[in-house]
Amino acid sequence: MTAVLSKLDMLEEAPSMEQVEDIENEIIELVEEVLAAHKKSRGPLRTLLGAIISRLGRGMDRIGLLRSSVLRVLETTEPAARERAAAALRAAIRVMREDLAPG
């Protein structure tokens, strides 16, 4: 999950649709790995893995928000509108971090 969080940092610095796609692919890979481990686990570990799956699912739900926020930043040319779009992107990234980061 650290890789996703660092990719979110890069997205904030240099918004691109490629970055959003990388983040989405990273989350998909993590979901597959955690699901495989979850199927084999028992007890407290299974509960923990279930919580991680839930967080990753919320992260996947936010990909559309990230994608649309990045598009707005990339397509906007007027400075004030671009700053508003960048602020919306920062907010979307913050929400994604809150969904993914523990505690």
Residue with tokens 């990388």: 22
19-33 confidence digits (pLDDT tens): 999 999 999 999 999
Domain count across the chain: 1
The angle at the Cα of 46, spanning 44 to 49, to the nearest 5 degrees, equals: 110
pLDDT at residue 52 greater than cutoff 90: yes
- Residue 78 is part of which domain span? 2-100
Predicted local confidence at residue 2, as pLDDT = 87
Q: Is the pLDDT assigned to residue 8 strictly greater than 90?
A: yes
Q: What is the phi-psi region of residue 101: left when phi exceeds 0, alpha when psi lies from -120 to 50, beta otherwise?
A: beta
- Whether 42 shows a pLDDT value over 80: the answer reads yes
Q: Residue 27, Cα to own-chain centre: how many angstroms?
A: 7
Look at residue 70 in the predicted model and tell me its pLDDT.
Answer: 97
